[in-house]
Amino acid sequence: MSNFLVAIDGPAGSGKSTISENISARCGFIHIDTGSMYRAITLYAINNNLVLDDPNSYSFIDKINIRLSGDKIYLDGKDITRDIRNRHVTENVSLVSSISIVREKLVCLQKKLAIGKIVMDGRDIGSVVLPNANLKIFLTAESKIRAYRRLKEKNETINETDLIVEEKNIKRRDELDSNRVNSPLVVPAGAIIIDTTKLNIEEVTNKIIDLINERLNK
């Protein structure tokens, strides 16, 4: 099977995962959510009471097994799909993903997984993991709308106070992800920027699928 690699980067709440899922369902691509891998490492470190900011804590990475299957993620055979979304993991994952050894190991694993028709989303996919991707997309949106989307995933009703707190958290994560020394969140060379603030999921998905078809038919 020939390769066709789609790299989707962008900040938290820009719609990367949902849109990548849609592309996967509609185009038969395998979706690799790299954020879920950083979350898996964070969950393991928290559950084992490791010192999160000490690079020496992460020697376990060579001994554990992370497996993605459809929209599920397994750590040493255990389904951790729900656990990686808990608040404690979300609050610490930016710190864990800034540790060099963690990035080196996961980038290596992600490169190995890029065989066939792949849509991979994250923060450094077009810049570091798949610099030769056939299509690079950078999704962005205003922080308030990204905070709203994140809350909407969890709650039906959203009040103004929750929205202010969530926007603050999102901005803090943007800051950490964009300013870290190792593979910061950047617009990769050659990426097409899509601002999703005023677009719905369907509109963004259609735009990207049009771009995929254009390049596949070249």
Which residues lie near ligand DC (CB under 6 A)? 12, 34-35, 38-39, 93-94, 97, 122-125, 173, 177
Considering the complex, state which of residue 2 and residue 104 has its C-beta at the smaller distance from ligand DC.
104
Q: Rounded to whole angstroms, how far apart are CA atoms 127 and 177?
A: 14
The helix/strand/coil state of 199 is coil
Toward ligand DC, which CB reaches closer, 24 or 34? 34
The single residue listed with the structure tokens 């997984």 is: 113
DSSP one-letter code for 129: I
> 55 vs 213, which CB is nearer to ligand DC?
55
Residue 35 C-beta: closest distance to ligand DC, Å: 3
Q: In the Cβ-directed half-sphere of 57, how many Cα atoms lie within 13 Å?
A: 16
Q: Closest separation between CB of residue 86 and ligand DC, Å?
A: 12
> Shortest Cβ distance from residue 169 to ligand DC (Å)?
11
* Nearest-approach distance from CB 34 to ligand DC, in angstroms: 4
C-beta of 1 vs 181, nearer to ligand DC: 181
